[in-house]
C-alpha cells in the first residue's frame, strides 16, 4: 500500500509543476529594491524592473554625479546606475523615477562619503551682560547652511542669540545686551541629517550674566596698574585694551605638571590665560581668569576689564605684572576688532620689559638649527611634558626661544621647519622651563598661527653662511673608515670633530658611538616616536681624574677669510651622572683658551621615573663668538665639562659622576652672516 501511495503523490506533484510552468508573473510596475546604498568610491549598481509593458527611468531632478545605463526596457529587465567618486564629500542621494503605462515607482540611490562630524569644543559658553560677538571651537565638515539650528531659551526671554557663523574652525554667535536683573540661559543645538538617514548633532549652553553697575569706575593706564602694590586691588578702576591671545588656542601659556601626578600635564594655565596690550600696543598685562569657562576672549577683541577684587602679582627680571582671579562679571565690554591687529616690528636687541604680553614681530630671524619639526621630542612623552623651545637667532647675532606646546596641530605635520630667514610674529612672554635648565632667557615668543612663522623655506634665502656643520653620524663610512672620510666628516665645510678622551677613529661602544635624535618631521603617531637613527653621536668618560679637569668635544677648522662674527649652534642631552655644565672656549693655537660662554645640557628622560628636570629630546643652544674667533688660519673650539655637578635618578643635581654616563650631540655648526 505504501508503494501505491508514494506513486500517487508523485503523479500529483508532477501535474502541479506542469500547471505552474504555464502561469506567468504579471505586474504593472515593480522594482527589486526601493533603497540602494553604494560605496563612496566610484561605483555601479543594477536595479531589476518588473513590468507588463515598456518602462523608462530618469532622475527626479538633474543630477550630474549619476549616469544611467540601459535606462529603458520592456517587461522584466534592469537598468544600471553609475556614480562618480564621493570619497571627499558628505553622503548624497538621488531619487530615480520609473514610469510604465501610467504607473510610477521610485528607487533611491544612496552613496556613502565622509562620515559627518559635528563637535562643539565647549559644553558651556559665558557671555557678559553687555553682549557682543563670541566664538567657540567646532570640529565639523558640514557647512552651516546644511545644518539645522534649534534654540531653547529659559523663561527670561527668547531671541537674544543670533548671527550664527562657522569659519576657520570656530562657531560664532552674537548675544544681545542683557537688560534684565537676572542671569539667563539658552541652549543651541546644531544637527545634520545626512543622505543615509543618520543624524549628527551637538549642543552648547550659553549663559549670560545680568547687568551690573560700574558707576564711578576710573580708567587707568597700564603703567599705573603696574605701579600698584601687589595683592588684592581694592580701587574702583578698569583698563581698556586689545586682546592678543586666543581662547582655546593650545599655545597661549606654560602648562605645568599636575601636583598630584608629575607624569600628567595640567592644561589649566593655558585655558585661563589672557594677554591684553594697551590700545597703542606699548605695554601688556597677563590676566588669569578664575575659571576656563570665563575665558571668553578672542584675538583682537577690544575690551574693558574692571580690576576691583582681582589680585596683582609683580615679578622682576624681567619686570612684569600678572592679574589673577578675574571673573566674567568684571568684563565691562568685549567687542571684536574691526581692523586687523598689526604687530610692532623689532629686532631681538630692541625688546624691553614693556613689550611683554604684547603682539610683536621679530625681524630678520631664522631657526638656529634648521632641521626637524617644531617639537623635536620623543613622542612617547607628550602626555608628560608640554613644550619644546626652538632656538631662533637674528641677523644681529642675538638669540631666544620660540615656544611650541605639544597640542599645536602643525607642530609635527610632515613638513620640515623653514630653513631660510624672515620674520616671526607672536606674543612675547617670559617663562622658566625646568626641563631645559630653568632660565631659558629673558624673553621667549609664543606663536598663534603657522603663517606667522614667515620664514623662507630654502636655506639659500637667508642671511647665514655655514662655515662647517655636522648633522648626523655617517654610518655609510663605518665599514672602512679613514681620517679623511669617517663618520664625523662634516656635512658642510671642512674640519674635524672629536672627543678629547677618545681616538678620533674609535667608534666602539666605549668610544664615539651612534645615537638617535628626535627630529623626524613625520606626522604622529608613528612607530618610531619621532626618532631618526644615526642622527646623533655620543661619548662617555667626561672627567680626567689625572688633571682633575673636564674632557671636551673639540672642533678644528679654519675661519680664514671670514670677517663677520661667528656663532656656534649645537643640541644635545646627557645621562644622569654625566656632564651637565659646559663652558665653550676658543683658541687660535690649541692653547691660551678664551672663554665664550657657558650652558647646561639636561638629563635625558627616563620613562620609569620621569623627573620634571629631564628632557625627552635634545636641548638647543646658540652662542655668539667674539670677533677674535674670525679670520683665523686655525680655529679650535672646545665644549668642555665645566665641573662635576651632575644629575641623578631623583634630582637634576646632587648625583655622583659616572664615567659610563654619556653626552650626546645631534647637531653642531658654525655660521656667519653672508
Query: 3-state DSSP call for residue 16?
Result: helix
- At a CB cut-off of 8 Å and minimum separation 6, what does 68 contact? 57, 58, 59, 79, 80, 81, 82, 96
Quick: pLDDT tens for 273-301.
999 999 999 999 999 999 998 999 999 99
Q: Are 72 and 56 contacting, i.e. CB atoms less than 8 angstroms apart?
A: yes
Are 495 and 486 in contact, with CB atoms under 8 Å apart? no
Q: 1: buried, middle or exposed (CB in 10 Å: 19+, 13-18, 0-12)?
A: exposed
Q: What is the pTM of this model?
A: 0.85
DSSP SS3 for 503: coil
460 class by beta-carbon count within 10 Å (0-12 exposed, 13-18 middle, 19+ buried): exposed
Rounded distance, CA 72 to CA 60, Å?
15
- The answer to whether the CB of 67 falls within 8 A of the CB of 172 is no
β-strands 132-140, 184-193 pairing: unpaired
CA 399 to CA 391: how far, in whole Å? Answer: 7
Peptide bond connecting 318 to the previous residue in cis, omega within 30 degrees of 0: yes
Q: Residue 481: what pLDDT?
A: 86
What are φ and ψ of residue 570, in 5° steps? -155, 160
CA distance 600 to 582: 6
Please list the alpha-helical segments (H only) found in 423-473.
Answer: none
Cβ contacts of residue 556 below 8 Å, gap of 6+?
495, 496, 497, 634, 635, 636
Cα four-point dihedral sign 565, 571, 573, 574? negative
Q: What's the confidence (pLDDT) of residue 625?
A: 98
Listed in order, strand segments (DSSP E) in 327-481 are 331-336, 344-346, 359-367, 387-394, 399-405, 422-429, 432-433, 438-439, 444-446, 453-455, 464-470
- Please compute Rg for the chain using Cα positions: 35
- CA 579 to chain CA centroid, Å, is 33
Pairing relationship of beta strands 359-367 and 344-346 according to DSSP bridges: parallel
- The pLDDT value recorded for residue 3 is 57
CA gap 360, 457 in Å, rounded: 22
pLDDT, residue 13, reads 54
Q: Is the dihedral of CA 624, 627, 633, 638 positive or negative?
A: negative
**Half-sphere exposure (Cβ direction) of 23: Cα atoms closer than 13 Å:** 6
Domains defined for the chain, CATH in brackets: 29-111 (2.60.40.10), 118-208 (2.60.40.10), 218-250+265-336 (2.40.50.140), 344-455 (2.40.50.140), 464-673 (2.60.120)
* C-alpha neighbours within 13 Å on the C-beta side of residue 359: 23
CB 616 within 8 Å of CB 603: no
Cell triple for 33: 529594491
Contacts 24+ apart (CB under 8 A), 335-341: 335/132, 335/133, 335/301, 335/302, 335/303, 336/132, 336/133, 336/298, 336/300, 336/301, 336/302, 337/242, 337/300, 337/301, 337/302, 340/300, 341/242, 341/244, 341/299, 341/300
What parts of the chain have a pLDDT lower than 70? 1-26, 524-526
Left if phi > 0, otherwise alpha if psi is -120 to 50, otherwise beta: which for 431?
beta
Q: Go through 48-63 and write b for each residue having 16 or more CB atoms within 10 A of its CB, e for each that does not.
A: ebbbbeebebebeeeb
Q: What is the 3-state secondary structure (H, E, C) of 384-411?
A: CCCEEEEEEEECCCCEEEEEEECCCCCC
| DSSP state at residue 644 | S
User: From the DSSP assignment, how many helices (H) and strands (E) are in the chain?
Assistant: 3, 51
Amino acid at each position: 500500500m505504501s508503494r501505491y501511495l508514494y506513486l500517487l503523490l508523485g503523479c500529483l506533484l508532477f501535474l502541479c509543476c506542469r500547471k505552474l510552468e504555464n502561469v506567468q508573473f504579471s505586474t504593472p510596475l515593480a522594482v527589486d529594491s526601493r533603497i540602494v546604498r553604494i560605496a563612496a568610491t566610484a561605483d555601479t549598481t543594477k536595479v531589476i524592473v518588473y513590468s507588463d509593458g515598456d518602462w523608462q527611468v530618469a532622475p527626479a531632478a538633474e543630477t550630474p554625479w549619476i549616469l544611467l545605463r540601459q535606462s529603458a526596457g520592456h517587461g522584466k529587465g534592469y537598468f544600471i546606475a553609475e556614480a562618480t567618486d564621493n570619497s571627499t564629500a558628505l553622503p548624497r542621494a538621488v531619487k530615480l523615477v520609473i514610469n510604465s503605462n501610467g504607473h510610477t515607482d521610485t528607487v533611491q540611490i544612496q552613496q556613502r562619503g565622509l562620515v559627518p562630524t559635528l563637535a562643539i569644543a565647549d559644553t558651556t559658553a559665558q557671555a557678559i551682560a553687555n553682549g557682543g560677538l563670541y566664538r567657540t571651537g567646532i570640529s565639523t565638515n558640514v557647512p552651516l547652511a546644511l545644518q539645522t539650528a534649534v534654540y531653547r531659551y529659559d523663561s527670561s526671554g527668547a531671541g537674544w542669540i543670533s548671527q550664527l557663523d562657522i569659519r576657520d574652525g570656530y562657531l560664532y554667535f552674537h548675544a544681545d545686551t542683557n537688560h534684565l536683573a537676572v542671569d539667563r540661559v539658552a541652549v543651541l543645538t546644531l544637527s545634520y541629517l545626512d543622505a543615509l538617514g543618520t543624524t549628527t548633532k551637538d549642543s552648547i549652553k550659553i549663559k549670560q550674566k545680568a547687568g551690573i553697575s560700574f558707576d564711578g569706575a576710573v580708567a587707568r593706564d597700564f603703567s599705573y596698574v603696574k605701579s600698584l602694590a601687589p595683592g588684592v586691588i581694592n580701587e574702583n578702576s578698569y583698563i581698556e585694551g586689545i586682546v592678543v591671545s586666543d581662547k582655546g588656542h593650545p599655545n597661549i601659556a606654560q602648562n605645568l605638571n599636575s601636583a598630584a601626578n608629575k607624569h600628567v600635564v595640567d592644561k589649566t594655565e593655558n585655558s585661563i590665560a589672557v594677554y591684553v596690550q594697551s590700545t597703542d600696543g606699548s605695554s601688556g598685562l597677563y590676566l588669569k581668569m578664575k575659571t576656563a569657562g570665563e575665558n571668553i576672549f578672542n584675538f583682537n577683541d577690544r575690551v574693558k576689564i574692571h580690576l576691583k577684587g582681582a589680585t596683582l602679582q609683580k615679578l622682576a627680571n624681567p619686570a612684569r605684572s600678572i592679574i589673577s582671579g578675574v571673573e566674567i562679571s568684571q568684563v565691562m565690554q568685549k567687542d571684536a576688532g574691526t581692523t586687523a591687529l598689526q604687530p610692532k616690528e623689532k629686532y631681538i636687541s630692541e625688546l624691553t620689559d614693556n613689550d611683554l604680553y604684547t603682539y610683536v614681530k621679530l625681524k630678520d630671524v631664522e631657526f638656529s638649527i634648521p632641521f626637524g619639526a617644531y617639537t623635536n621630542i620623543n613622542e612617547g612623552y607628550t602626555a608628560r611634558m608640554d613644550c619644546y623651545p626652538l632656538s631662533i637667532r637674528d641677523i644681529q647675532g642675538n638669540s631666544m626661544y620660540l615656544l611650541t606646546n605639544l597640542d599645536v596641530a602643525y607642530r609635527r605635520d610632515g613638513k620640515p621647519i623653514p630653513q631660510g630667514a624672515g620674520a616671526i610674529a607672536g606674543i612675547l612672554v617670559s617663562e622658566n622651563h625646568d626641563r631645559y635648565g630653568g632660565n631659558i632667557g629673558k624673553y621667549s615668543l609664543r606663536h598663534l598661527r603657522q603663517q606667522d612663522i614667515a620664514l623662507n623655506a630654502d636655506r639659500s634665502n637667508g642671511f647665514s653662511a655655514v662655515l662647517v656643520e655636522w648633522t648626523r653620524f655617517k654610518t655609510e663610512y663605518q665599514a672602512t673608515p679613514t681620517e679623511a672620510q669617517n663618520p664625523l666628516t662634516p656635512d658642510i665645510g671642512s674640519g674635524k670633530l672629536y672627543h678629547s678622551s677618545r681616538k678620533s677613529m674609535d667608534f666602539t661602544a666605549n668610544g664615539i658611538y651612534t645615537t638617535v635624535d628626535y627630529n623626524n618631521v613625520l606626522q604622529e603617531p608613528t612607530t618610531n616616536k619621532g626618532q631618526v637613527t644615526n642622527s646623533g653621536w655620543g661619548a662617555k668618560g667626561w672627567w680626567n681624574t689625572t688633571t682633575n679637569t673636564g674632557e671636551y668635544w673639540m672642533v678644528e677648522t679654519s675661519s680664514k677669510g671670514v670677517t663677520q662674527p661667528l656663532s656656534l649652534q649645537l643640541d644635545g642631552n646627557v645621562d644622569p651622572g654625566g656632564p651637565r655644565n659646559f663652558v665653550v672656549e676658543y683658541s687660535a693655537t690649541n692653547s691660551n683658551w678664551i672663554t665664550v660662554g657657558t650652558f647646561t645640557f639636561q638629563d635625558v628622560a627616563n620613562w620609569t621615573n620621569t623627573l620634571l628636570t629631564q628632557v625627552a629630546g635634545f636641548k638647543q643652544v646658540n652662542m655668539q663668538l667674539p670677533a677674535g674667533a674670525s679670520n683665523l688660519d686655525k680655529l679650535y673650539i672646545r665644549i668642555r665639562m665645566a665641573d662635576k655637578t651632575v644629575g641623578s635618578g631623583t634630582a637634576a643635581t646632587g648625583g655622583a659622576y659616572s664615567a659610563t654616563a654619556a653626552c650626546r650631540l645631534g647637531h653642531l655648526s658654525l655660521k656667519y652672516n653672508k
